[in-house]
Amino acid sequence: MSSKGSVAPFQLGNETKPRSRFGRYVAAALLLAGSAVWTLSQFDAPVEYLHSAKAAAGLVHISLEDRCPQSSPLIPAGNKETWDDIRDLVGSDNFKTKAIDWLAGAVKIPTQSYDGMAAPGADARWEIFGEFHAYLAEAFPLVYKSLSVKKVNTYGLLFEWTGKDTSLKPILLAGHQDVVPVHPNTVKEWTHPPFSGHFDGTSIWGRGSADDKCGLVGILITVESLLEKGFQPTRSVVLSFGFDEEVSGPQGAQELAKELKASYGEDAFALIVDEGSGYVDTYGTPLATPGIGEKGYIDTRVEIAAPGGHSSVPPPHTSIGMLAALLVEMENNPFELKLNKDDILYGTIQCAAAYGKSVPEELKDAIEWSLYSQKGMHALEKIIFQDKLMSSLVGTTQAIDLINGGVKTNALPEQAFAIVNHRVSTLSNVDAVKARDTNVLKHLAQKFNLTYTAFDELISTGAPEKTLVLSEAFGHSLEPAPLTPTSGAESAAYKLLSGTIKATYNAHHGVDGDNSIAVAPGMMTGNTDTRYYWDLSPHIFRYNHQGSFGKLDKDGKIAGGIHTVNEHIKVDSFLEMILFFTTLILNADEADL
């Protein structure tokens, strides 16, 4: 997963909110994890307002379950025998040993990707990926024998498992080969060396074990195992593995997407599943939150130019001083934070409240009140917006991350600039962010007599030798991802995924029931390689079924060490992931998509 976001848990009520910084995103359901203590005093209004709002709406009761309908567990029908065989296989000690070895072998190859790497062939650091390819070919001989394999831009991998009925839209399973670099100064902090692939009897340790070699290797183990059982799909299965996702995928997934579009066409896939969230216990019930959307982003460059000279004869405001004032103005005027019923997070909260076994009635009342009344929505906002991560999932954010100016203490700085990173709300767009940035600085441009240009448009004229320029830093931005349909006529893929999640969980944990695990639409704070796959399918999910994915440990850190020291994955979670991919392929093979 790319480092385009960070996560933290949200615990409501009087629980302590950990404030450690993390380099990974997780499902929005994690924000609701914890044993919260709710009191009516948090709402600034008695619960009676809820009942009066219901009466005014002509309704006596609303069921949160109706607001978050659930699919039943979906067990393959025509492929039931194959599914039973793989389920038994995954549960065997021999298979467990092989699975550990498969993932450990992949972790041992340090396929690190770095910012600013040149193209393959021009940067020797890519060459380790050739070794990784050789490992995969040796580890999964049936995959390489039975599937077509194509390399794109040297290290991107495309596999096609051609189905018997090529008129059916294939499914696309994605992952990435690269991992976040391990800083040499942190190696001593690892319990087990970062590229050891060590198995301690419970977990497999090392960089990439949880992000995302478990997903890539899990998919290949699934296909290898199905081939061993003689399974031949009716619907084609395509695998796409990029090699620079951790640096936003310009050479990997972007080139793979071009190849996929050229080979298959637009809207060619029935569904796409890439790395993403998993499930975590939420109010006493496991909650899975497949990502159905992603925020966009734009980096705004704010640049001041002013005459230089000797600092002993300074003007009232240097370029750095003016830039500082502009940045303070932006921080003092954040984007409006408002919870909308169309926000993905609003749906996640409803599902958590509907199916959590230990959800306080006050929480349910608060959410119901928000359905009927704007006052109720404001009350719910007050609770949610106490936490900065909850807030960041809802609105557009801004963060001043880079600044530069000046070259010498006795020389007036002729230029100064800063980069402001924005994560664009799923209900907004890049142009709206540009307009806001432009407008919020207008009065200061006039105050400092600056000639102001914003995104190639002249906004106001001041002194010609003093300029303010806003532009897209690095020359690119990203609109929010299209939202995957979860209801109505276009929701068949979401229902199939939901039923697959439930069948997998029940089978692996030996439980029954439609709601032993609940499924809710979710969203991450960052982006995956799917940013390049939007044209390929409207049904894109960021999900890989890791159990307790992102759950906090006793020190307030994300369990699993994703993007930090001591990354690891429990072997039981890895085995369940393999069963998930198996169930998904078999269900999709016989579904009407």
Residues flagged as binding site for Zn(2+): 176, 211, 246, 274, 563
> Residues marked as binding?
176, 211, 246, 274, 563
Query: Under a CB-based contact definition with an 8 Å cutoff, are residues 584 and 540 in contact?
Result: no
Q: Which two tokens stand for residue 435?
A: 């307009």
Residue 371 makes CB contacts below 8 A (sequence gap 6+) with 62, 67, 341
| CA dihedral over 23, 256, 242, 237, signed as positive or negative | positive
Q: Give the rounded distance of the alpha carbon of 335 from its chain centre.
A: 22
The CA-CA-CA angle for residues 439, 441, 443, to 5°, reads 95
What number of CA atoms fall less than 13 Å from residue 70's CA on the CB side?
25
- Measured CA to CA, the distance from residue 7 to residue 31 in angstroms comes to 9
DSSP structure class, residue 195: T
Q: Please report where in the chains the tokens 């994703």 appear, as a residue.
A: 562
Q: Which two tokens stand for residue 217?
A: 């290797």
Angle between helix axes 361-372 and 48-56 (nearest 10 degrees) is: 40
Separation of first and last alpha carbons in the chain: 28
- Measured CA to CA, the distance from residue 426 to residue 480 in angstroms comes to 5
Query: Under a CB-based contact definition with an 8 Å cutoff, are residues 24 and 550 in contact?
Result: yes
Query: DSSP 3-state helix, strand, coil percentages of the chain (rounded to 5)?
Result: 40, 20, 40
Q: Which two tokens stand for residue 132?
A: 């990784």
The CA-CA-CA angle for residues 173, 179, 180, to 5°, reads 135
**What residues form DSSP beta bridges with 570?**
203
Query: Under a CB-based contact definition with an 8 Å cutoff, are residues 286 and 280 in contact?
Result: yes
Catalytic residues: 178, 245
**DSSP per residue, 526-577:** S--GGGG-GGG-S-EEEEEEEETTT-B-TTSSBTT-TTSTT-EEEHHHHHHH
**What residues form DSSP beta bridges with 305?**
415, 467
